[in-house]
Amino acid sequence: MEKRYISKEGLNKWFNQIIQSDKRLFAPVQKGEKVEFKRVKSFEEVASDYIQTTQSIKRVAFPRAEVLFSYKKEEKETTLQDFNPDTVPETVLWKIHPCDAAGFIPLTGIFNWDYKDKLYNARLAKTTMVSFSCQKSDNSCFCTSVNGGPGNTAGSDIQITLLPDGGALAEILTPKGEALVTLAPECFEAEREIKKEDYLADVPVRFNVKELTGKLASSFDSPVWKQQSERCLGCGACAFVCPTCACFDIQEDAKGSTGRRIRCWDSCGFSMFTLHTSGHNPRQQQSQRWRQRILHKFSYMPERIHELGCTGCGRCSRACPVDMNILEHLTSIAQQSHE
């Protein structure tokens, strides 16, 4: 890892070099009350004063809907057109938070757990992540409780920490990051003994994740799931804004003799998610679906891919129409005494 200083003007210049290259760039953009990642063409479009985008940026590697392959039938012949990794554009994610970059770690784990997902891996390989450490947080943030932090560099290719003089500390973390620096190497000056910790948000640790995972191991039949999920409406808002939720559905878009097979987002919160063709549904009640959501992220994923399925970004809590605050629910489970 290499540390460099970059001035305000340097940051702007480097950004413009990226924009002018063949890479597409996504950055947070303010629209009304919401901030979302959008394709950006100028430095001025990038949002500055906000805590978190509503949606995560996972769609860059795992789009809402993507064509797995398409086909065409002519008489007895069927021609298949497979996904072509060469069609994936080089992409830069600008000003994502450390929890966004960290979100790709469990996603990568899921998409490579047994089967190596060609599409996801191709997209991720062409993505360079420039995270900005967090100087602000809110009550929904809890990265420090799930092995992360406002200056966590895991998953990032470069991390920028903004300084009071308008300049920034740049931590160049990976070969992908180094390659991005070569677009404007003159902007990166020698390091200036900067203490990064002084410029980070204070995100208190709210629960002990080991303790939580321990409690969850024996909680399958606990009444807590019913208590917590009573007000849950069973929509997919939490899963769709989440940086690590990876459930998908596979659908057919057939038109006569041609068609496409499409992978699209799904959510374990939906009542039809586990509905069998027989009519039986092993998760008939919302409480069972809520349990699945929590256990998957904090029990099954650590067991299978050795990663938590949560980066503490707090998006699900902020997006929920009925305030299903995940931090509050996790804290109450972690603090529960064994009866």
Partner 1 sequence: MNKLIEKATSLLQEGVVTKVIGYEEGTEKPRPFFCEKAEDTSKLIYNSRCINNLAVYLTKPELLGTGKVAVVATLPTLRSIVQLAFENQLKEDKLVILTVTDSEEVIEFAGFAEIETYLKDFKLKIDQKEQDLIDKLEGMSKEERWTFWVEELSQCFKCYACRAACPMCYCTRCVVEVNCPQWVQPWASPLGNIEWQINRAMHLAGRCTGCGSCAEACPVGIPIDLLTRKMMEDLGEEFGVVPGQPNKNGNVLSTFKPEDKENFIR
CA pair distance 64, 43, nearest whole angstrom: 27
Residue bearing tokens 């047994």: 114
The bridge status of strand 258-265 relative to strand 158-162 is unpaired
29: contact with partner 1 by CB under 8 A: no
* Closest alpha carbon to 160 in 176, 177, 145, 143: 177
Q: Which residues in the 246-275 window bind partner 1 by CB under 8 A?
A: 249, 251, 253, 262, 264-265, 267, 270, 272
Helical residues (DSSP H) of 93-208, grouped into ranges: 98-110, 118-125, 175-181
Strand partners, 82: 69
183: contact with partner 1 by CB under 8 A: no
| Shortest Å, Cβ 65 to partner 1 | 4
Figure out which of the listed residues 109, 214, 234, 259 binds partner 1, where binding follows CB under 8 A.
234
What would the two tokens of residue 51 be?
A: 């805590």
Q: Pattern of binders to partner 1 over 96-135, x per CB under 8 A? A: ----------------------------------------
Figure out which of the listed residues 19, 46, 51, 65 binds partner 1, where binding follows CB under 8 A.
65
Closer to partner 1 by Cβ: residue 45 or 230 = 230
60: contact with partner 1 by CB under 8 A: no
Figure out which of the listed residues 221, 323, 338, 339 binds partner 1, where binding follows CB under 8 A.
323
| Eight-class DSSP state of 185 | G
Figure out which of the listed residues 1, 20, 22, 32 binds partner 1, where binding follows CB under 8 A.
32
| Shortest Å, Cβ 275 to partner 1 | 9
| Shortest Å, Cβ 211 to partner 1 | 22
Cβ-based neighbour number of residue 278 at 10 Å: 6
CA pair distance 108, 101, nearest whole angstrom: 11
Count how many Cα atoms sit within 13 Å of the Cα of residue 267 in the half-sphere of its side chain.
18
Residues 6+ apart with CB under 8 A from 301: 106, 109, 110, 307, 308, 309
What would the two tokens of residue 306 be?
A: 């050795």
Contact, 65 vs 119, CB < 8 A?
A: no
What would the two tokens of residue 88 be?
A: 């994936």
Figure out which of the listed residues 181, 317, 329, 330 binds partner 1, where binding follows CB under 8 A.
317
Figure out which of the listed residues 120, 132, 240, 290 binds partner 1, where binding follows CB under 8 A.
240
Q: Pattern of binders to partner 1 over 269-308, x per CB under 8 A? A: -x-x-----------xxx----------------------
Could you list the residues that contact partner 1 (CB under 8 A)?
32-34, 36, 54-55, 64-65, 139-140, 230-231, 233-237, 239-241, 249, 251, 253, 262, 264-265, 267, 270, 272, 284-286, 317, 319, 321-323, 325, 328
